[in-house]
């Protein structure tokens, strides 16, 4: 009997993560005989395993090695066997980024579990009637942008529960479950893993795993102009501090006449637009000057710092000031009487 395991899911979910500069390897370890086979790999696609399915099953591992550092990363692994339940996990977020599921600390995400091969009835061993779902969380430290799976899954899980029925089930989380002193700044990964219930001799019981990256909510300030300040001639130069911008985001400053009002379309300030499309959040500092053309008339203006992400537009900061360019000439007319 051959394991016609569709490895497409494995490959498709991670091939982009292991893109240019990486080389992928799939290893199949036969648990009974210990034979290890390196499967020929294409970047995206499906392929059946050609080795016989042994009683103890086979462990499939997807690895990638970074060219520049020769460092290996275990991207995913799955235990498959004739007498084991099978499972799959997928994670859906509001960010369409395809390389890895990613979201923001304040945004919802949904985890879908699919289990098959469970048996029901009296007198059956527990391992054939249920699988264990574990939820692990791991915060990024410093500039980290990924956590090795072995490390993320090594600690005590945030929660454990049993899946006792075949079919699909879902869990939706309104926001991240990562812990942080300031919940808006939580960043890291949430890992979900389904284990077969093994015996004492099992070295691996992981049937399926998936994880989602969580990035913090951006923040920012406009410095150089104070609330209520009167701008007389040239508008002052601005320093814009941007923290934790979402990996895929457009950020800019806009100005409009009047007091602050959300969802008001204003004039984009030249030199203030920052576009990010990368694999991690980022912090920047911008200097903006020569924006007098956006302040056409005298009056009250509001300047807003906005960032657009897959989740909407966030106003990070705003300041209202007054433009007053009227020239007042104070003069006095007088006469000199001739003697």
Partner 1 sequence: MKTTLFLLTSLAGAAIAAPAMTDRITPEEIAARQKSAPAVALVQPVAGAEAKVARPGEQSLIKQSDILSDGNNWTLVPKGAVLHIPAALSNRVGAKPVGTLLSWIDFLTVNRGWLFTEEVTFDQAAGKTPIPPSRHDFWKKNGKVIVAVHLGGPISVRTEPTTPVASIQ
Subset of residues 60 to 89 that bind partner 1, contact rule: CB under 8 A: 61, 63, 65, 67, 70, 72, 74, 77
147 makes contact with partner 1 (CB under 8 A): no
Nearest residue (CB) to partner 1, 30 versus 223: 30
Measured CA to CA, the distance from residue 229 to residue 238 in angstroms comes to: 13
316 makes contact with partner 1 (CB under 8 A): yes
Among 46, 117, 145, 198, binds partner 1 (CB under 8 A): 198
Among 98, 116, 144, 172, binds partner 1 (CB under 8 A): 172
Nearest residue (CB) to partner 1, 3 versus 323: 3
Nearest residue (CB) to partner 1, 64 versus 235: 64
Beta strand 22-30 with 58-66 is antiparallel
Among 98, 162, 258, 292, binds partner 1 (CB under 8 A): 162
Q: How far is the CB of 203 from partner 1 (least distance, A)?
A: 6
Among 13, 219, 251, 281, binds partner 1 (CB under 8 A): 219
Among 1, 44, 122, 150, binds partner 1 (CB under 8 A): 150
Residue 217: HSE in the Cβ half-sphere, 13 Å Cα cutoff: 16
- Scanning residues 87 to 126, which ones bind partner 1 (CB under 8 A)? 92, 94, 96, 105-106, 108, 110
Number of residues near partner 1 (by CB under 8 A): 81
Return the closest-CA partner of residue 319 out of 219, 217, 229, 218.
229
DSSP state of 183: G
Nearest residue (CB) to partner 1, 166 versus 289: 166
Sort 338 into a burial class: Cβ within 10 Å, 0-12 / 13-18 / 19+.
exposed
Helices and strands (H, E) in the chain, number of each type: 2, 21
Nearest residue (CB) to partner 1, 21 versus 325: 21
Give strand pairing partners of 214: 103, 188
- Scanning residues 9 to 38, which ones bind partner 1 (CB under 8 A)? 23-25, 27, 30, 33-38
Residue ranges of alpha helices (H) inside 157-292 are none
Which among 4-12, 116-124, 180-188, 225-233 is the span making contact with partner 1, rule CB under 8 A? 180-188
Greatest Cα pair distance in the chain: 131
Helix (H) or strand (E) holding 13: helix 8-14
Secondary structure of the chain: what % helix, strand, coil (to 5)?
Answer: 5, 45, 50
Measured CA to CA, the distance from residue 31 to residue 80 in angstroms comes to: 10
């Amino acid at each position: 009997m051959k394991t016609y395991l569709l490895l497409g899911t494995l490959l498709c979910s991670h091939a982009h993560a292991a893109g240019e500069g990486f080389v992928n390897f799939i290893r199949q370890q036969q648990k009974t005989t210990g034979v290890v086979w390196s499967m020929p790999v294409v970047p995206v696609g499906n392929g059946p395993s050609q080795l016989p399915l042994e009683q103890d099953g086979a462990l499939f591992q997807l690895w990638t090695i970074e060219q520049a550092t020769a460092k290996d990363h275990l991207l995913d692994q799955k235990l498959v066997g004739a007498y084991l339940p099978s499972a799959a996990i997928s994670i859906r977020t509001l960010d369409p980024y395809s390389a890895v599921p990613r979201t923001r600390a304040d945004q919802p995400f949904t985890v879908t579990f699919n289990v098959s091969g469970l048996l029901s009835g009296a007198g059956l061993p527990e391992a054939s009637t249920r699988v264990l779902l574990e939820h692990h969380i791991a915060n990024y430290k410093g500039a980290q942008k990924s956590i090795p799976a072995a490390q993320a899954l090594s600690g005590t899980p945030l929660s454990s529960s049993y899946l006792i029925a075949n079919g699909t089930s879902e869990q939706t989380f309104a926001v991240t479950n990562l812990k942080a002193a300031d919940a808006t700044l939580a960043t890291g990964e949430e890992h979900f893993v389904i284990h077969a219930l093994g015996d004492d001799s099992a070295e691996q019981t992981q049937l399926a795993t998936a994880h989602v990256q969580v990035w913090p909510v951006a923040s920012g300030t406009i410095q150089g102009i104070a609330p209520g300040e009167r701008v007389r001639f040239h508008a002052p130069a601005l320093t814009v501090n941007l923290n934790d911008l979402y990996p895929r985001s457009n950020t800019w400053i806009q100005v409009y006449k009047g007091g602050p009002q959300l969802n008001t379309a204003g004039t984009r300030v030249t030199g203030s637009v920052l576009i990010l499309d990368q694999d991690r959040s980022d912090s920047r500092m911008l200097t903006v000057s020569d924006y007098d053309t956006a302040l056409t008339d005298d009056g009250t203006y509001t300047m807003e710092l906005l960032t657009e992400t897959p989740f909407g537009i966030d106003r990070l900061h705003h300041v209202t000031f007054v433009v007053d360019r009227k020239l007042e000439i104070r003069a006095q007319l007088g006469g000199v009487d001739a003697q």
